[in-house]
Structure 1
Amino acid sequence: MERSVIRLIHCQKDIFCFSVPEECPSCGEELRGSRLQEAPVSLPSPFTNGHKSSCCLLVAPAHDNQNREFDGTSDLHTGISNTKGVVFNYTQDGVRRDQSGWERCVSVPLVRPDTFHLLAQWDQYMDRFSDAPTWDPAWHRFDKDDHNCFSFCLRYVNSVLAAEGRSALTRETFTHSFILPRMKRVSKYTTVYQHIQRHQYYVVDRQEDVTTSVGQ
């Protein structure tokens, strides 16, 4: 997904494409010189470079997905970045500290930019947590259901919350509040992108909720 998706509005339609066409694919009116309802805008991609996203939960296709695609069927892998963009992630071999491989993922910020005291301690928290026996395969084996990459991320987040004197998050709350909204946007964006690849355009009736869910 290297091309940008453009949204333009014409004849009460939301038209998604890679470049502004000469004619409206809905009504056939020439668009050159035609006054559009709004200026065309480029939609931000839901994907980010995890190594440039500090202090974030990162979601990416699992390593055994050869194409590393978010296709809705492949397993996903999660990790947490430190302030230097190193991604800590738990696997069957223990905790990895990846400096590459997370260039295209979904990012969930975990720290507000103005929380300076937490930013200053984030890497220390991360190193200490990752070195715990809990994540050493010799002490506790990886389990795809109960002791996995997501368990590692959630328990780290809750350890930071505890250090900050705040209440822990349940798996369900964290998933539904932070991860699912972003993954739904990924699904919609991917659907639109693939449709444009096949048919040049993706045209829908003008609806604020559709536009918002794809573009934000």
Structure 2
Amino acid sequence: MDSKNVIKVSHCQKDIFCFFVPKECPECGMSIRGCRLEEAPISIPNPFSNGHKTPCCFLVAPAEENTHREFDGGTDLHTGITDTNGVVFNYTKTGVRRDQRGWERCISVPLVQPDMFNLLNQWDQYLHKFSGAELWDPAYKKFDEETHNCYNYSLMFINCILATQRRNPLTKDQFTQSFVLPRIKRACKYTTLCKDISKKQFFIVERLMRESEKDRGEA
């Protein structure tokens, strides 16, 4: 559903969200054409990406138990790390998996800047060595939903990379609050918006005034 592009059109003091630009305003019936520049249709960025096409990233996707594979704020999530070829390394009850498919719709957090050539050249080596450690062998230590899970695996790898860069490690709370939670919230809102649009073709809300418009009104 939310693979479609969401468009926002502003008209008659309303923000109209839809999957296509209507010829007429669904609120007042007047033509959309010829509207002011500030009312021109804009595309709402899609928060999802194909994890297999985003190398060297931290990924978040709905867990396999979520049959609809949706971000709705109430389902379990799964995390992984991509190598330079888009293979997703992720820790499960059976150990570390290397998925070449199944992560086509997820949240992606880039971990390497394009100009970090030395790190890019060694990324796969680091990831393979880390994933092959005894710590991730289920015969050595079992998967635990609270203390030894996919998120711990991903964050521990990220901190290992930070250590090679002589940078301070991130706590689970720091990484979650700064990089993960904002993206998950955006994805949940986008999913809900797509559902609302699908019900009636349009989702209409009162237009929020810009700060400058508020200031002029108060002057």
Q: Which residue of 2 aligns with 1:158?
A: 159
TM-score by length of 1: 0.91
Q: Which residue of 1 aligns with 2:104?
A: 103
Q: Which residue of 1 aligns with 2:195?
A: 194
Q: Aligned residues, how many?
A: 208
User: Comparing 187-196 with 150-159, which one deviates more in the overlay?
Assistant: 187-196
Q: How far 1:85 sits from its partner (Å)?
A: 0.3
Q: Which residue of 2 aligns with 1:6?
A: 7
Instruction: Please state whether the residue corresponding to 2:90 is helix, strand or coil.
Output: strand
Does residue 139 of structure 1 match 2:162? Answer: no
Determine the C-alpha separation between the residues in 2 that align with 1:165 and 1:22. Answer: 56
Does residue 64 of structure 1 match 2:65? Answer: yes
Instruction: Please state whether the residue corresponding to 1:80 is helix, strand or coil.
Output: strand
1:65-122 per-position Cα deviation (integer Å, ceiling 9, x unaligned): 1222212221100000011100000000000000111001110111111111111111
TM-score by length of 2: 0.90
Instruction: Please state whether the residue corresponding to 2:39 is helix, strand or coil.
Output: coil
Determine the C-alpha separation between the residues in 2 that align with 1:173 and 1:207. Answer: 32
Aligned-residue CA RMSD (Å): 1.5
Determine the C-alpha separation between the residues in 2 that align with 1:104 and 1:35. Answer: 35
Instruction: Please state whether the residue corresponding to 2:78 is helix, strand or coil.
Output: strand
Q: How far 1:9 sits from its partner (Å)?
A: 1.5
Instruction: Please state whether the residue corresponding to 1:78 is helix, strand or coil.
Output: strand
Q: How far 1:45 sits from its partner (Å)?
A: 1.1
Instruction: Please state whether the residue corresponding to 2:127 is helix, strand or coil.
Output: helix
Q: Which residue of 2 aligns with 1:81?
A: 82
Larger Rg: 2
Q: Which residue of 2 aligns with 1:214?
A: none
Return 5+ residue gaps in structure 2 as ranges: 211-219
Q: Which residue of 1 aligns with 2:128?
A: 127
Instruction: Please state whether the residue corresponding to 1:169 is helix, strand or coil.
Output: coil
Instruction: Please state whether the residue corresponding to 2:61 is helix, strand or coil.
Output: strand
% same residue: 57
Determine if contact 2:58/2:154 at 8 Å carries over to the other structure.
yes
Q: Which residue of 1 aligns with 2:185?
A: 184
Determine the C-alpha separation between the residues in 2 that align with 1:38 and 1:83. Answer: 41
Determine if contact 2:60/2:107 at 8 Å carries over to the other structure.
yes
Q: Which residue of 1 aligns with 2:34?
A: 34
Letter in 2 for 1:178: F
Determine the C-alpha separation between the residues in 2 that align with 1:89 and 1:184. Answer: 22
Return 5+ residue gaps in structure 1 as ranges: 210-216
User: Comparing 106-115 with 130-139, which one deviates more in the overlay?
Assistant: 106-115
Does residue 118 of structure 1 match 2:134? Answer: no
Determine the C-alpha separation between the residues in 2 that align with 1:163 and 1:112. Answer: 15
Change (3 A) 1:152 1:183: same
Determine the C-alpha separation between the residues in 1 that align with 2:179 and 2:89. Answer: 19
Q: How far 1:201 sits from its partner (Å)?
A: 1.1
Determine if contact 2:59/2:108 at 8 Å carries over to the other structure.
yes
Q: Which residue of 1 aligns with 2:18?
A: 17
Q: How far 1:208 sits from its partner (Å)?
A: 7.0
Determine if contact 2:49/2:105 at 8 Å carries over to the other structure.
yes
Letter in 2 for 1:6: I
Q: How far 1:180 sits from its partner (Å)?
A: 0.6
Q: Which residue of 2 aligns with 1:46?
A: 47
Q: Which residue of 2 aligns with 1:213?
A: none
Determine if contact 2:72/2:192 at 8 Å carries over to the other structure.
no
